């Protein structure tokens, strides 16, 4: 049709769509998708009670700007195989999210999206990058508003995107896509943390905090009051597994965590966030061996590490750099014997050491 903009309409699921020649690509795409794919608008329409969650320009069926649809929409209209969407189970699990705008299906080791929950409403997380002219902004099309990981709540069970109970079909929880180092914790107690990026993808950890823990995960708790009145519960998972194999694990302050592995190496980790959203992995080795023979190993703060050897001597070490580059060796002997008889030995800070005799 000739004339001005604003005439894009369609007879959804049947055989006709119309739009004026001046309309943008996104309008043509939206109306033809109504006809060819029999899929409804996922944008806000009058009568919805939660329009503040409009996914706007992260889905062409929400805002006819020519961008790619969300993974949910692509899967619903069979442009994306269901196997490309990971079904999250258990507690904390890492994923590598392949950007929706890239060629699908994703390569081995990646998924296009993560679904958390089996019943409506459930959550979806996916990666968005300006990887092509449809996602990138230009003078002709707006593209996506930000790059990173978006999280949205699916509020309809209709495979055609029809709304239910006056709710917007897709409710966006991240108005601006999450970048590396950012986390969202939803009202259903699910956290999505972006821990890194790779070409065409983002690394995320999805933690369903209502699910049971997995053996060997490192948990984060906070005693908010620190006066004996607090209630310490609902931890975050910051180490995804393998911690059950450590011979010793102890803190060094300021988010530093030390561990002794089965090979007797002293490992250095750092919890950069210190809020339960961090991913503690990829340690540095700062003690090359022999630590498996220590009866006790514990921290003293400010890079100080104490150990009790097989002879019952109390040894003093210092991690001078406290950044994973140090070489912790050549201790001083500050306790001349008898420490092997202690059941527990631990530091209290400021040079204080506590011990419980057998």
All domains of the chain, ordered by start, with CATH? 1-38 (no CATH), 43-208 (no CATH), 218-357 (2.115.10.10)
Q: Give mean pLDDT, residues 143-152.
A: 95
Q: Name the pTM for this structure.
A: 0.80
Which pLDDT value is given to residue 4?
Answer: 56
pLDDT in tens, 44-88: 999 999 999 999 999 999 998 889 999 999 999 999 999 999 999
Q: Which residue matches tokens 């699921």? A: 13
For the CA atoms of 321, 326, 328, 332, the dihedral, rounded to the nearest 10 degrees, stands at -40
| Distance, CA of 182 to CA of 67 (rounded, Å) | 24
Q: Which two tokens stand for residue 5?
A: 């903009």
pLDDT at 65: 87
pLDDT value of residue 27: 87
What pLDDT shows up at residue 28?
87
What separation in angstroms does the CA of 219 have from each of 60, 214, 262?
A: 40, 10, 21
Instruction: Give me the torsion for CA of 253, 255, 256, 262, rounded to 10°.
Output: 120
The percentage of residues in the chain with a pLDDT greater than 70, rounded to a whole number, is 97
**pLDDT at residue 352 above 80?**
yes
Match 């070490």 to its residue by tokens: 317
List residues bridging with 122 in a β-sheet: 154
CA-wise closest residue to 354 among 318, 283, 306, 312: 306
pLDDT (average), residues 309-315: 97
Q: What's the pLDDT band for 5 if we cut at 50, 70, 90?
A: low
pLDDT bracket for residue 7 (50, 70, 90)? low
Characterize 308-335 residue by residue with b for buried, 16 or more Cβ atoms within 10 angstroms of its Cβ, and e for exposed. bbeeebbbebbbeebebebebeebeeeb
Please state, in angstroms and rounded to a whole number, the distance separating the CA atoms of residues 81 and 105: 7
The contacts of residue 248 (CB under 8 Å, 6+ apart) are 258, 259, 260, 291, 294, 296, 297, 298
Q: What is the pLDDT of residue 6?
A: 61
Residue 345 confidence class, pLDDT cut points 50, 70, 90: very high
Sign for the CA dihedral angle at 103, 109, 112, 118 comes to positive
pLDDT band at 236; cut points 50, 70, 90: confident
Q: Residue 246 burial (CB < 10 Å; 0-12/13-18/19+)? A: middle
3 pLDDT higher than 70:
no
C-beta separation of 210 from 88 below 8 A = no
Query: Model confidence at 152, in pLDDT bands (50, 70, 90)?
Result: very high
pLDDT at 326: 84
Q: Which pLDDT score is estimated for 279?
A: 80
Number of Cα atoms under 13 Å in the Cβ half of residue 211: 17
Q: Is residue 10 scored above 80 in pLDDT?
A: no
pLDDT digits (tens, 9 = 90+) for 213-233: 889 999 999 999 999 998 888
Interatomic CA distance for residues 318 and 307, integer angstroms: 11
């Amino acid at each position: 049709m000739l004339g001005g903009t604003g005439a894009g309409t369609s007879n959804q699921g049947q055989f006709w769509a119309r739009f004026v020649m001046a309309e943008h690509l996104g309008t043509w795409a939206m109306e033809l998708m109504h006809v060819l794919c029999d899929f409804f608008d996922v944008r806000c329409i009058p009568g919805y009670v939660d329009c503040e969650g409009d996914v706007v320009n992260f889905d062409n069926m929400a805002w006819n700007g020519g961008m790619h649809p969300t993974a949910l929409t692509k899967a619903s209209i069979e442009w994306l195989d269901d196997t490309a969407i990971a079904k999250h189970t258990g507690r904390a699990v890492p994923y590598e999210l392949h950007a929706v705008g890239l060629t699908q299906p994703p390569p081995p080791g990646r998924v296009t999206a993560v679904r958390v929950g089996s019943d409506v409403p459930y959550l979806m997380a996916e990666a968005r990058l300006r990887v092509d002219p449809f996602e990138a902004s230009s003078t002709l099309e707006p593209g996506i508003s930000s790059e990173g990981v978006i999280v949205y709540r699916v509020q309809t069970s209709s495979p055609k995107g029809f709304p239910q109970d006056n709710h917007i079909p897709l409710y966006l929880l991240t108005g601006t896509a999450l970048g590396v180092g950012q986390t969202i914790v939803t009202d259903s107690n699910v956290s999505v943390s972006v821990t890194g990026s790779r070409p065409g993808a983002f690394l995320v950890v999805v933690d369903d905090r209502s699910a049971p823990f997995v053996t060997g995960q490192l948990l984060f708790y906070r005693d908010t009051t620190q006066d004996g009145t607090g209630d310490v519960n609902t931890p975050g998972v910051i180490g995804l597994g393998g911690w059950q194999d450590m011979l010793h694990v102890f803190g060094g302050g300021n988010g530093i965590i030390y561990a002794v592995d089965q090979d007797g190496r002293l490992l250095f980790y750092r919890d950069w966030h210190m809020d339960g959203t961090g991913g503690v992995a990829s340690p540095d080795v700062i003690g090359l061996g022999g630590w498996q023979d220590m009866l006790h190993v514990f921290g003293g703060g400010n890079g100080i590490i104490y150990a009790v050897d097989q002879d019952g001597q109390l040894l003093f070490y210092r991690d001078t750099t406290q950044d994973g580059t140090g070489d912790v060796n050549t201790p001083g002997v500050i306790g001349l014997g008898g420490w092997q008889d202690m059941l527990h030995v631990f530091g209290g800070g400021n040079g204080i050491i506590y011990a419980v005799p057998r």
